Chain A
Amino acid sequence: MDYRPSRMAVVAKCAEAFIREFFDQNPLSHVGLVTIKDGISHRLTEIGGSPESQINALMGKLECSGDSSLQNALELVNGYLNQIPSYGHKEVLFLYSALNTCDPGDIMETIEKCKKSKVRCSVIGLAAEIFICKHLCEETGGSYTVALDESHFKELLLEHAPPPPAIAEYAAANLIKMGFPQRGAEDLISICSCHKKIKSGAEGYICPRCKVNVCELPTECRTCGLTLVSSPHLARSYHHLFPVAPFDEVTFKLGQKGGQNCFGCQQSLINTGGQSNIHVRCPKCNHHFCFDCDIYIHESLHNCPGCESQRSSSR
């Protein structure tokens, strides 16, 4: 009934899957790991943009013992996240197995502090619903769920990978300096700044500002601190900020002009046999789509072909 072989092992495995999925959906984000042990919280890894270092720490031997203190963890996290610039969205996800919290001070004050610094705290519980976790999530705008079993836990965890919906309000409109490195020339040999190994230029990217070699993107240049990304990464984050509007359901009326074929796949929308012909229509460009294209557009493509193919600038 409980998690096998041990809660820690299951959580570590699911966390690894989560980190991969998270970086897949949010290539520009950073993740750090914190553990709570014997009432004190320790920083396991630095906040960084590379999934490999986080996963390596998870695969290492993780022990658990003693009481848990939610307040100490929140204070630690708050301290780190305060250094993040204001255009960044700050979030904490607790994987909480204890049924109480043994705090040195008033946890309500700490929750107020988190609320003021706009840190969104979510909790996934492994045992039962605890009031203080619920309160924390409600105050900071996070979500609190309790897992029924292993597969449910993985499902709940992966739900946190896409960014939360109300993200646009927090971000102030700022100019962020980013670099778009190019691949180096074949015959260029240099030492990469992350592993300190000799690499050919074609295997890495050249930072546009300081010209050092970096192995993978997205990353932060170690020499000059510039954020280095490539355009597909930006595009993948972009669709979370500006999602495609949900399509309206319409039924086919006799005598209706146009709308007989799906704009996406050109298949006929009129169902022979007289069954109800429900299909969907984009509210912006008024093109009709079938259900399969609807699912594909919303989940994979993140762009409506009808809107993209319109030449008008007013959108």
Chain B
Amino acid sequence: SVDTACRRLTASWVRDKAASDPESTPLCEFFESFDRAASAGDLASFMPPGVYTLADLRSLGRERRICPYFLARQMVKYANVVVYSYQYLLDPKVASIVSREMQKECVVVFDEAHNIDNVCIEALSVSVRKQTLEGAERNLRRISQEIDRFKATDANRLRAEYNRLVDGLAQRGNLPISDAWLANPSLPDDILKEAVPGNIRKAEHFLAVLKRLVRFLDGRLETENVENEMPVSFVASIHSQAGIDQRMLRFCYDRLHSLLLTLEITDTDEFMHIQTICDFATLIGTYSRGFSIIIEPYDDRMPEVRDPVIQLSCHDASLAIQPVFDRFQTVVITSGTLSPIDLYPRLLNFNPVISRSFTMSLTRDCICPMVLTRGSDQLPVSTKFDMRSDPGVVRNYGRLLLEMASSVPDGIVCFFVSYSYMDGIVNSWNEMGILQDIMQHKLVFIETPDVVETTLALDNYRKACDCGRGAVFFSVARGKVAEGIDFDRHYGRLVIMFGVPFQYTLSKILRARLEYLRETFQIKEGDFLTFDALRQAAQCVGRVIRSKADYGMMIFADKRYSRHDKRSKLPGWILSHLHDAHLNLSTDMALHTAREFLRRMAQPYDKAGSGGKKTLLTEEDLQDMARDAMEM
């Protein structure tokens, strides 16, 4: 892989060897020029002031023959604005490498942060499967071979490492930039800065400890029942059965990292398995609250196939984000669908200085949300588990889509609650002949779990909308499309949310998390599940409108949306356009509303709003406003 190949050319021991023997050791020209510039303090000349995207960096690197990756890593320190993904700040494994030198005075803005609690939880969760354990055993065998080889040829290296550990350095301090690939999985404040315990200082002893740990985990995987344990009891059972105490577990990661560096291992992706095991060990050794270990022998959806997994799942989202709050002076969490807004401070355990919710300033009502609770035959529709396979409900949903496809131009997006539900209902529609009728009006595209297929489908969907043929896109509420893809302008004139996208409520991890939330934060289970479902629904329907001149309709097709406890959790900008006349609609009423809305929205629209109230300010307006504010 790219990582391995890069490391083979840039690791510190490779470069040392090349200094003495330049013929046989290839080096990376780009990295060498980077290194020369960095040591001369000359990097800034390579990056004149400006705005650089990844593509810009690559072309800069190609032009100036310098490695864009390491250049970017270095220049993060000097940049005024850095845009990157959440993990670089929240996941301890990468944050302590990339974001270590961000100063206190930085302003951190988390955009589209409605899922931030899930990101925080995933950053501290690890899962271990049979393949991981088998891979770990292979890795351990390889490491022991390497150790034997070194003992025969270069025993000094191992001894030097032993001495260093005795001297009390658990971590290796400032490593050269090309040697650090992943960091300690626990939060920086929780890493012990002490000497590594005596019984794992010697490389062979450490390997023996790891072998016992892997065997213990293997034994735990053989269980036939679902088990849910607290980390404390799990650590206790490790101690009693494998003889590894908590302090040893805590140092697993550091010791492994040091060992791999000493043995000059370059193909790090081969060793990901043992790294996962060590991450797991370090985390259970460090944290006792807010985590639980769940062992599942079978996947609930396929009870015959045995697929055991040990999951260390974090339940407390505030753990990962606490260092960010402590370190930076200003942190802003913002999103278009952050509702209800008072739940987030409770989940992330912080006191907001300002908590504000803004509405959209529009000159015309460019969104038309509707809550549809029944079909034309007045039967209620829902994706509630007991109503899902009712043929009347399926037919009503099908007719809703058919009527809308014949009255709405260009693109329509439909969101379903899960892949299995989408498969089932599309099959039923095919049998009833509804799918063929829909295809008379518009082409149909569908999202699949495969990324390449979905990208192709999306591409063709856009082509169909552009050339006037019109298309419908079937997608899933928690899939890739719902998270990232925009359907603005004619690509999304209507979005239909079929049902309420609850999470899979029988999942053990979810149950454990709900219990933790109830005990620690007093958040009721039903409230949390509803909040999670509705933020997902709001995120899905928010894809259709991206500017003031844009317009789109949203249909929430489930009878449960008319209940106040669900409806009130929708974000303010949707609720402000959800008139009482658009609640509790049936298919024909929704059709009538849709037709009228489309005709109205097709009339010419003055973007700057020069008629009545202004919504697009010019520079003179801003200066006037500033002058008024100063005079007051």
Contact = CB atoms under 8 A, between A and B. Distances in A.
Given A130-B409, A130-B410, A131-B490, A146 B602 contact: yes
A100 B599 contact: no
**The 7 A-B residue pairs with the shortest CB-CB distance in the complex, in nearest-first order:** A132-B468, A146-B602, A131-B490, A128-B598, A129-B602, A101-B468, A100-B470
Interface stretch (A102-110, A168-176, A187-195, A286-294): A102-110
Contacts of B466: 131-132
Contact of B442 (A1, A100, A133, A147): A100
Contacts of A100: 409-410, 441-442, 468-470
B309 interface: no
30 contacts: A99-B406, A99-B407, A99-B408, A99-B409, A99-B470, A100-B468, A101-B467, A101-B469, A102-B469, A107-B467, A108-B467, A127-B598, A127-B599, A128-B407, A128-B598, A128-B599, A128-B602, A129-B409, A129-B598, A129-B601, A130-B490, A131-B409, A131-B490, A132-B466, A132-B467, A146-B602, A146-B603, A147-B599, A148-B599, A148-B603
Interface string B578-609: 00000000000000100110111111100000
Nearest to B491: A131
B489 interface: yes
SS of A interface (majority): loop
A125 interface: yes
Interface string B383-426: 00000000000000000000000111110000000000000000
Interface string A125-160: 101111111000000000001111000000000000
Contacts of B469: 100-103
Q: Which of B407, B441, B469, B602 has the most CB of A within 10 A?
A: B602
Contacts of A99: 406-409, 441, 470
Contacts of A131: 409-410, 465-466, 468, 489-490
Given A1-B595, A99-B470, 20 more contacts: A99-B407, A100-B410, A100-B469, A101-B467, A103-B469, A127-B407, A127-B595, A128-B407, A128-B409, A128-B595, A129-B598, A129-B601, A129-B602, A130-B490, A131-B410, A131-B468, A131-B489, A132-B467, A147-B599, A148-B603
Nearest to B469: A100
A102 B467 CA distance: 9
Contact of B592 (A1, A70, A132): A1
A145 B601 CA distance: 11
Contacts of B407: 99, 127-128
Nearest to B490: A131
Contacts of A148: 599-600, 603
A151 to B, nearest CB: 14
Interface residues of B, number: 26
A146 B601 CA distance: 9
B589 to A, nearest CB: 12
Contacts of A133: 468
Q: Which of B407, B441, B468, B595 has the most CB of A within 10 A?
A: B468
Nearest to A134: B490
Contacts, number: 71
A145 B599 CA distance: 10
B412 to A, nearest CB: 11
A1 to B, nearest CB: 7
A146 B600 CA distance: 9
A131 to B, nearest CB: 4
Interface string B456-469: 00000000011111
Q: Which of A70, A107, A130 has the most CB of B within 10 A?
A: A130
Contacts of B465: 131
Contacts of A106: 467
A145 B602 CA distance: 7
Nearest to B442: A100
A155 to B, nearest CB: 12
Contacts of B489: 131
Contacts of A132: 466-468
Interface string A89-130: 000000000011111001110000000000000000101111
Q: Which of A108, A125, A129, A133 has the most CB of B within 10 A?
A: A129
A88 B600 CA distance: 36
A125 B602 contact: yes
B467 A145 contact: no
Nearest to B598: A128
A73 B215 CA distance: 75
Contacts of A147: 599
Contacts of B409: 99-100, 127-131
Nearest to A144: B602
A130 B467 CA distance: 10
Contacts of A127: 407, 409, 595, 598-599
Contacts of B592: 1
Contacts of B441: 99-100
A175 B441 CA distance: 51
B367 to A, nearest CB: 16
B470 A128 contact: no
B604 A145 contact: yes
A103 B592 CA distance: 29
Contacts of A70: 468
A122 B415 CA distance: 36
A147 B599 CA distance: 7
